[in-house]
Structure 1
């Protein structure tokens, strides 16, 4: 009996020591962390039991809402509730008042309890800082929707989910955050970083994510992405049945999808006579376009030319390593050549984004472009960078061309068509 008591005491002491080495974020004294809630335009700090961020100024933000409340007991916050509505991006951030060295937890876990109240029309991700200007997110949309209404769920994520080459965990000010899309309400408690590794939720392998075919899995895409894919398959079938197969096919993301909206008039003048097919899907990263190609979107076609431009969402969504994005583009080129062996492929440089030349995400895209220009072989793959035509002489991007500094308006599509025309016409002329 005495021996068993000694063993039990030793195990208890080891458990206490292990937990003493944890970084406890919640529960915590009310002034231990800076808690903010908000969206891309405005944030508000939680200094009492509740706070609501100012609504976005844009017209479409009229019904938008982002707020947070705290469950406070004995002078400490035990749990936080995060609620958002009609927002494409909102966030709850628990920030340190001075940088934290998280390197001791690099081989450990981020653990917390999550109570999902409402998430049928939204999604939620968990975020963690990884150095100056660096934050990484893990999408919890699928499991979190499954937890809705089922009470508290324990979540464990390996710290490796937030690590990349060059990540610096020596001075982190965001040890925990939640990002919401659409509409939802969740509560979070018992947040801590641990040094011990335990089984947890799987997260994508960032080294292969861009080349692994996948449907776009975002709260704002679930309702329309797969139906749009089916619609494009039907559009293709109708063109073939009418005896008017497309002579040119465009593959890409929302910028390519814009040929059906802001660029529609330009498309009607220049590409509709060629029975062009625009396979652009808003939000797509390279892995999403790859899934679409592997599920029939270009099968059975024999276009003279294919125009491919994609990658800006790899940068914008996860600030991806340029080499990883370039690998995704290379995988797409391989897929196109395998399925359309006689088509000439015009690989476009990713368009510039952000107002100024030193914009962080523009810089990532430029590094991608430097890599992918080497994919041109002068026979079937041809590279063209028309970025300079979209920019001002000083390298700035005008809202008169891209109102949101990412997506072209009609003028932007006119510039695109005009700058691309000589090369595209030449390629279509030599196509077999």
Structure 2
């Protein structure tokens, strides 16, 4: 699995998810400051494990994690995710109506357009959800540490990295959930699905 990419795919430049300027929410989950389709932001910490918030942002119940506009001149819609120094676990998720992406299991990857603004904790779990009691997670701390500090880059994660850990792509209801118990700040400009680069076989080689 690749760890980072130059930020050449940002804002749908190489994602086959836009046709005639219409965003397909099956493949694009956050872009230009908005969550298309039924996707919505949900914050969680021990004070409330399910707290939906608008695209404009908000804070989790105990204040562990906050989502707000990043104030980035290059990408005005980018958001800032900031976890406080408390030892509580906090997460930022996208949740919505289930979509079936099973046919893309070994052909696509989740791509995050990110800017790391602080030291990266040793555990930063990226989780994809497929209904109650159905999820798969990958610790992306090492991937984030490999990227440049305070510069935009694209972080791709093959879908089969998640299906190998139990994700059911026939009912994907949460394409993105990022959580940590550490202090951390990460900016995100886009979360979307992209075609695997030619020659890339993801985590599980094609038969």
Q: Normalising to structure 2: TM-score of the pair?
A: 0.70
Within a 5 Å distance, the mapping from 1:359-398 to structure 2 comes to none
Cα deviation digits, residues 121-146 of structure 1 (max 9, x gap): 56422221245421111111123234
Within a 5 Å distance, the mapping from 1:26-175 to structure 2 comes to 26-27=30-31, 29=34, 32=37, 33-42=39-48, 43-47=50-54, 49-55=56-62, 65-70=64-69, 78-85=77-84, 86-96=86-96, 98-107=97-106, 108-121=108-121, 123-147=123-147, 149-164=149-164, 167-175=167-175
Higher share in strand: 2
Cα deviation digits, residues 65-112 of structure 1 (max 9, x gap): 21111469xxxx93322111223421110111x211121321211111
Shift of 1:156: 0.9
Shift of 1:35: 0.2
Cα separation, 2, equivalents of 1:201 and 1:125: 22
Higher share in helix: 1
Within a 5 Å distance, the mapping from 1:281-320 to structure 2 comes to none
Within a 5 Å distance, the mapping from 1:227-306 to structure 2 comes to none
Cα separation, 2, equivalents of 1:99 and 1:188: 23
In the superposition, relative to structure 1, how do residues 105 and 40 fare at CA in structure 2: closer, same or farther (>3 Å)?
A: farther
In the superposition, relative to structure 1, how do residues 141 and 94 fare at CA in structure 2: closer, same or farther (>3 Å)?
A: same
Q: Which has the larger radius of gyration?
A: 1
Q: In the alignment, which residue of structure 2 is the partner of 1:321?
A: none
Shift of 1:116: 0.8
In the superposition, relative to structure 1, how do residues 128 and 118 fare at CA in structure 2: closer, same or farther (>3 Å)?
A: same
Shift of 1:51: 0.7
Shift of 1:149: 2.4
Within a 5 Å distance, the mapping from 1:393-432 to structure 2 comes to none
Cα separation, 1, equivalents of 2:130 and 2:58: 27
Corresponding pairs, count: 176
Q: Superposition RMSD on alpha carbons, in Å?
A: 3.2
Q: Normalising to structure 1: TM-score of the pair?
A: 0.36
Unaligned runs of at least 5 residues, structure 1 = 1-14, 56-63, 206-432
Cα separation, 1, equivalents of 2:90 and 2:100: 26
In the superposition, relative to structure 1, how do residues 130 and 115 fare at CA in structure 2: closer, same or farther (>3 Å)?
A: same
Q: In the alignment, which residue of structure 2 is the partner of 1:24?
A: 28
Cα deviation digits, residues 197-234 of structure 1 (max 9, x gap): 2277976x8xxxxxxxxxxxxxxxxxxxxxxxxxxxxx
Q: Is the Cα contact below 8 Å between 2:116 and 2:185 reproduced in 1? A: yes
Cα separation, 2, equivalents of 1:68 and 1:88: 17
Unaligned runs of at least 5 residues, structure 2 = 1-12, 19-23
